[in-house]
Amino acid sequence: MSWDFIVPVCVGDLVKTGGINQYVVQDVASPKQLPSQLSSKADLQIRFQIQKYFILHKKGKCGAEGLLQWDSEREKVLQALIQLLQLDIRLLWSLSLVEEEFISCVTCCCYKLLENPTIGHVKSKPTRDGIIHLLGLSIKKYNHLLGASVKVIQLLQHFEQLSSVFAQAVFVWSTEYGVRSIVGEVIREIGQRSSEELAREGSGVRSFSSFLSELSALVPELMIPNISVLITHLEGESHTMRVAVCEVLGEILVRVLCGDSLDESGKADRDRFFDILQEHLHDTHSHVRARVLQVYTRIVNSKALPLCKYSEVMELAVGRLMDKSINAVKSAIQLLAAFIAHNPYSCKLSSADLKAPLEKETTKLKEMREKLAGEAPVAVIKASELWAAMEPELLETARTALEPTSETEREEQEDEEDGDPEEEKPAEDDRAAALRIAQFLRSGEDSSELSQNLPPTPVEEEKEGEDGELKKQEMLVQYLRDTETFALQVERAISVINNMLYWKITSVVQEAVQFCVTVCEFSVANSISGVRKMLPLVWSTDAAIKDAVVQAYRRLYLNPQGDTIRMKAQTLIDSLSELMVDASLGTIQCLEEIVSNNYSRMNHLNLFYFCTLIKFPLPVVSSSDVFSVFAPGVVMEDPYWQSFMEQAVRLIYFLAESPDQLCSRLLHGRCRVARLDDLLTRVIKHRHVVLFSPAVNCVCLAQLLALCGCVAFWQVSHLERSVSAELRRRRGETEEREEKEKGPASKAKQVVGESAMEEELGLIGASAEDTEAELIRKICETELLAEENLLSAFLPLLVKVCSSPGHYSHPQLTTAACLALSQYMMISPSVCEENVRLMFTVLERSTLPVVRANAIIALGDLTVRFPNILEPWTQNLYARLSDEVPSVRQTAVTVLTQLVLKDVLKVKGQVSEVAVLLIDPEVHISSLALNFFNELSSKDNAIYNLLPDIISRLSDPERGMSSEDFNTIMKQLFSYITKERQTESLVEKLCQRFRTATTERQWCDLAISLSLLSMCERGFKRLQESWECYSDKLTEPGVYQPLLSITGKLRRGAKPQFKAQVDDFEKRLTAVHTRGLENVESQSKSSISGCDDDAFVTPRQSRKSRKPAVTFSSDEEEDEEGNLDLSAPAT
């Protein structure tokens, strides 16, 4: 289609229609109508553009083509304005002065852009930099300094995200544009804020604090002239501002006031700032204390702390370990670790090693001082003193020589002049000397100045050398004293931080672990105690704590240093051997876990090849020379024969082709050495044991019994591990061979019924595995201890020795027999059930702590293997927690912790015995008990369910626990109750317990328990509702005072309405307590008046008959077998 347009010749032609397909003017508007018509057309054009944008820029049609990119355009505008302001634009105004309105227009746009919440993001950096440079030009060239400082403060008050932006801006303005006064202006604006105003503001104060901290990190030297304005805020109420000022002081001390090149003014400022920081280590707010400790950590890491401040700050840091704030404690630990890592004294800090050198050098210093003091002083006459003594005589002589006193002398002088000329010479010499003397006297020249230029005498040189040696010795002694003081402070900190390893706060435990690693690397005395103490934490359920311990041991012991592989291996062996000295079985197991975790991080390919080589070692025939080496070793008389024997038997069962035959030969050989062949034959034949001959060596017999127990244990392990695996392998090969023998037809049938066959094969596989397991159990039950088996001959011997401690009292024999019997009990349930009573009798009545400890470990393993058999005896396991020997208590709590946390044992009321260990005098035992409850608290409501039972058992009058110990235990246990619902429920339960309590001591314990709860409003409501339960007990001060303390805690920070309820409750408590006391006093007076003197006793109020003890809902009934008499040993 074509369009024609005829050019009009006159106005009239515009409205004429020339035909179809031609342009024509429809309306002609007058000049007055033109503005409105143009406006309407413009609106249509805008709407058309908007519709075009939405049509063209639908999702998936086209990108940002045609869209106005505001970010890029904004940057272009900012760059254009920067280029404009860099020009000399004063000529654009009449008076050659840029109008303030123009600058305000530009800067207001900049400040408006800064209000964008995303201005601090990385993607906004070009815009942010453009705004900063644009404002910098305005400040430098167009007198915008005052306006900028005021605007910075205003924007910081309302936009917290601008703190880092303005810190960078002020840095650029003060350095690149040379406007250093902007720093002072901004700081003065902040300093002029009143403390009340800052206390009211929230985000504004945080913005100021962040701004000051970041600005001090950028321009610390420019903060010093205005620091006095900020220091005034240290006395204000806003802790956020106090933190900011302390951080500013820290940056100044690290970046400016450091080093030895400071003048006297700089040193004075440095000392003053350090004093301010030390004062705020005791700030009332915990956040300030923690941040000041962090500031000190940065100072120490930067080596900016003067040597004279080390001891003082170190002592303050050790004191902060007792802080109530967790953040302050963590910061204190980090500061102490920094002190040790950057200490200027020695790479090895041990006060014991420093004591001898200090005493030696102190003695030497004392001798040097005595030597210098004992030397006779040499009389030294000063030149000035000598001149003063000679001056009168010289003056008289000169006067006589220069001024003749009489006429006769004058004539004689003239006659002498007329005489011989040779005789005139002496007279002239005397006159010249007199003239020189007179000149000296007239000038008053001090001869001391002349003596200063003289070379030193040998005596003076010797004295100066002695003084220098004395000063060096004094410096050495002072250095050793400072080092010893520092080491003692570190050792004091170690003793405190070691106890933090079992705290329930994960972050504190992690910091404590890192600190223990640091002090161990610097060989601080007693540092190995913390490293050993953290070892059980490798079993912690908290993955962060476990990883921290593994990393610590990897850093200390499993990361050997050396130039060659051999040196590294030797270093690794030496490190692990150091840990193995006096290591217990639990320590060895923990080390095995750590080593296994360490080697799991090896190179995966190397680990694969390594495991491929060692997984299936080739069996070695029993007649091999390899095993002939073990025969004398398993019976040698050596303190470590037990460990060697166990490892030798383990290796035999791991490598030998027929380990049972080889071990049988070892047992027969040992019987011959012990001269027990005849006895063993009688036992096998008649199944009866008589008393051994006195000729039998107890040590040899102990080795024999230990060997047979070890063989029995590893025989069971061999059956369940190696034989069972071999059976599974053969079954798999048989199934695979049968599948290959099947033809294609069977495979086609398998495709047809694939789902049914898969199910059937699964059932067949499960049934086969059950059959194999049942076969292994049957072998253990019937064949291992059959009459024809050698192992069965030793079981009566073991039972005889264990059940007759009076006849067989040798410690080594008893220990070996009990351990071997426990290993026999692992064979089958029947053997375990037959001898479990005997084993618990040994546990109860053995006089050897090592036997009781071994029995606890063995019974713990038996509980895992045969839980149903051992379940009725649980109470007897808990009874060992009160053993009189610390090592037995430690073993018992370790074993029970593992059994409870692995859900092998049900948590019962007997856990109160573990709670008693929280106050054990042995620190490591109380730490294990604390760790038990920390781990138990991770289980849902475990401690909450146990608390009523624990309170009931601990407050039992028959136990006789003191109130202080009860309070300590309950304070720890109630710290795990953090939920309001749990608190509310416990308040109700404890109040109901008042009704059944029968003694005043039980009332007091219940009241103390209530006071230890973190009482909330809902709990307080329950306390009010249960008024009738305890109101009649308020006459007792032990009940009244704890309940009164609850009101004091509730009143803190309470709302006015709730505070009124608390006040009313307190008045009720006081009224009942006072009225009850008056009644008691009146009753006592009446009873005294009606009684004789010998019956002068205050009567108790009449009570009902004693009620039976209440059984709590969380108690579980115990089996009667747990209370059976263990006095009769099994036979």
Q: pLDDT tens across 639-669, in order? A: 667 777 888 888 888 887 788 888 888 888 7
pLDDT band at 851 (very low <50, low <70, confident <90, very high): very high
User: Tell me, what DSSP letter sits at residue 826?
Assistant: T
Which pLDDT score is estimated for 672? 74
Is the same domain home to 45 and 168?
Answer: no
CA angle 330, 335, 340 (to 5 degrees): 125
**The model's pTM:** 0.58
Euclidean distance between CA atoms 12 and 16, whole angstroms: 7
Q: Of the residues 232, 256, 280, which one is the last residue of a structural domain?
A: 256
Q: Has residue 315 got a pLDDT over 80? A: yes
Q: Which helix (H) or strand (E) holds 570?
A: helix 565-580
pLDDT band at 437 (very low <50, low <70, confident <90, very high): low
Decide if 887 contacts 855 (C-beta within 8 A). Answer: no
Mean pLDDT computed over every residue of the chain? 77
pLDDT band at 344 (very low <50, low <70, confident <90, very high): confident
Q: Has residue 428 got a pLDDT over 90? A: no
Q: Has residue 253 got a pLDDT over 80? A: yes
Euclidean distance between CA atoms 551 and 582, whole angstroms: 23
Helix (H, G, I), strand (E, B) or coil at 939: coil
Between helix 163-175 and helix 203-218 the angle, nearest 10°, is 40
Average pLDDT, stretch 419-427?
50
Which pLDDT score is estimated for 758? 46
Q: Of the residues 753, 772, 791, which one is the last residue of a structural domain?
A: 791
Q: Is residue 56 part of a domain?
A: yes
Q: What is the pLDDT of residues 1029-1077, one digit of tens each?
A: 888 888 888 888 888 888 888 877 677 788 888 888 888 888 888 876 5
Assigned token pair, 810: 């040798």
Helix (H, G, I), strand (E, B) or coil at 620: strand
pLDDT band at 853 (very low <50, low <70, confident <90, very high): very high
- Of the candidate ranges 42-46, 402-406, 813-817, the one whose mean pLDDT is the lowest: 402-406
pLDDT band at 1014 (very low <50, low <70, confident <90, very high): confident
DSSP code per residue over 412-455: HHHHHHHS-HHHHHHHHHHHHHHHHHHHHHHHT--HHHHHHTSP
Q: Is residue 773 part of a domain?
A: yes
Beta bridge partners of 587: none
Q: Is residue 446 part of a domain?
A: no
DSSP code per residue over 759-820: HHHHHHHHHHHHHHHHHHHHIIIIITTSTTSHHHHHHHHHHHHHH-TTT---HHHHHHHHHH
Which pLDDT score is estimated for 450? 43
Decide if 843 contacts 855 (C-beta within 8 A). Answer: yes
Beta bridge partners of 656: 620
Nearest CA to 590 among 883, 859, 898?
Answer: 898
Is the same domain home to 989 and 1048?
Answer: yes
pLDDT band at 476 (very low <50, low <70, confident <90, very high): confident
Query: What is the sign of the dihedral through the CA atoms of 284, 287, 291 and 293?
Result: positive
Which pLDDT score is estimated for 768? 61
pLDDT band at 410 (very low <50, low <70, confident <90, very high): low
Which pLDDT score is estimated for 730? 84
Is the same domain home to 82 and 27?
Answer: no
Is the same domain home to 154 and 220?
Answer: yes
Identify the domain containing residue 202 by its residue range.
Answer: 70-256
Q: Has residue 447 got a pLDDT over 50? A: no
Q: Is residue 827 part of a domain?
A: no
Q: Has residue 1117 got a pLDDT over 90? A: no
Which pLDDT score is estimated for 858? 93
Nearest CA to 689 among 794, 816, 569?
Answer: 794
Average pLDDT, stretch 313-324?
90
Which pLDDT score is estimated for 343? 79
pLDDT band at 413 (very low <50, low <70, confident <90, very high): low
Average pLDDT, stretch 599-621?
46
Q: Is residue 657 part of a domain?
A: yes
Helix (H, G, I), strand (E, B) or coil at 656: strand
Euclidean distance between CA atoms 791 and 707, whole angstroms: 11
Which pLDDT score is estimated for 171? 92
Nearest CA to 165 among 127, 109, 204, 192?
Answer: 127
Euclidean distance between CA atoms 461 and 344, whole angstroms: 34
Q: What is the pLDDT of residues 67-101, one digit of tens each?
A: 456 667 788 888 888 888 888 888 788 777 888 88
840 burial via Cβ count (<10 Å: 0-12, 13-18, 19+): buried
Half-sphere exposure of 1 (CA within 13 A, CB side): 4
Decide if 106 contacts 138 (C-beta within 8 A). Answer: yes
User: Tell me, what DSSP letter sits at residue 1064?
Assistant: H
Q: Using the structure block, give the residue that is written with the tokens 């800067």.
A: 107
Is the same domain home to 62 and 84?
Answer: no
Q: Is residue 1101 part of a domain?
A: no
Which pLDDT score is estimated for 52? 66
DSSP code per residue over 202-264: SHHHHHHHHHHHHHHHH-HHHHGGGHHHHHGGGGSS-HHHHHHHHHHHHHHHHHTS-SS---H
Is the same domain home to 44 and 26?
Answer: yes
Nearest CA to 701 among 673, 729, 739?
Answer: 673
Is the same domain home to 623 and 649?
Answer: yes
Q: Is residue 1120 part of a domain?
A: no
7 burial via Cβ count (<10 Å: 0-12, 13-18, 19+): exposed
Report in angstroms the alpha-carbon separations of 472 from 450, 461, 465, 566: 32, 17, 11, 44
Euclidean distance between CA atoms 81 and 69, whole angstroms: 18
Say which residue, 117 or 200, is predicted with more confidence: 117
Is the same domain home to 251 and 105?
Answer: yes
Say which residue, 687 or 447, is predicted with more confidence: 687
Euclidean distance between CA atoms 323 and 288, whole angstroms: 12
Assigned token pair, 798: 């073991």
Is the same domain home to 777 and 705?
Answer: yes
Cα 45 to chain center, whole Å?
A: 69
pLDDT band at 617 (very low <50, low <70, confident <90, very high): very low
Average pLDDT, stretch 515-534?
83
Decide if 1068 contacts 1076 (C-beta within 8 A). Answer: no
Query: Which residues touch 379 (CB under 8 Å, ≥6 apart)?
Result: none
Q: Of the residues 228, 256, 284, which one is the last residue of a structural domain?
A: 256
The one-letter amino acid at 1128: A
Q: What is the pLDDT of residues 122-168, one digit of tens each?
A: 888 888 888 999 999 999 888 888 888 989 988 888 888 888 899 99
Q: Has residue 587 got a pLDDT over 50? A: yes
Residue burial 486-517, b: 16+ Cβ < 10 Å; e: rest: bbebbbebbebbbbbbbbbeeebbbbbbbbbb
User: Tell me, what DSSP letter sits at residue 121?
Assistant: S
Euclidean distance between CA atoms 299 and 282, whole angstroms: 18
Assigned token pair, 505: 């706060």
Average pLDDT, stretch 597-606?
52
Query: Which residues touch 662 (CB under 8 Å, ≥6 apart)?
Result: 622, 627, 652, 656
Q: Is residue 412 part of a domain?
A: no
Q: Has residue 712 got a pLDDT over 70? A: yes
Which pLDDT score is estimated for 761? 46
Decide if 500 contacts 535 (C-beta within 8 A). Answer: no
**Gyration radius of the chain over CA positions:** 48
Half-sphere exposure of 1094 (CA within 13 A, CB side): 0
Per-residue H/E/C for 722-756: HHHHHHHHHHHHHHHHHHHHCCHHHHHHHHHCHHH
Which pLDDT score is estimated for 789? 80
pLDDT band at 1113 (very low <50, low <70, confident <90, very high): very low
User: pLDDT above 70 covers what percent of the chain?
Assistant: 73
Half-sphere exposure of 295 (CA within 13 A, CB side): 31
Decide if 674 contacts 637 (C-beta within 8 A). Answer: no
Which pLDDT score is estimated for 288? 92
Average pLDDT, stretch 181-191?
89
Q: Which helix (H) or strand (E) holds 188?
A: helix 181-191
Say which residue, 406 or 203, is predicted with more confidence: 203
Q: What is the pLDDT of residues 814-835, one digit of tens each?
A: 999 999 999 999 988 999 999 9
Beta bridge partners of 4: 22
The phi, psi pair for 492, rounded to 5°, reads -65, -40
Euclidean distance between CA atoms 149 and 317, whole angstroms: 39
Centre a 10 Å sphere on the Cβ of residue 112 and count the other Cβ atoms it contains.
10
Which pLDDT score is estimated for 773? 77
Helix (H, G, I), strand (E, B) or coil at 22: strand
Is the same domain home to 44 and 90?
Answer: no
Which pLDDT score is estimated for 63? 46
Euclidean distance between CA atoms 705 and 697, whole angstroms: 12
Is the same domain home to 707 and 772?
Answer: yes
Helix (H, G, I), strand (E, B) or coil at 602: coil
Is the same domain home to 43 and 100?
Answer: no
Count up the domains in the chain and report the number. 4
- Of the candidate ranges 691-705, 980-994, 1065-1079, the one whose mean pLDDT is the lowest: 691-705
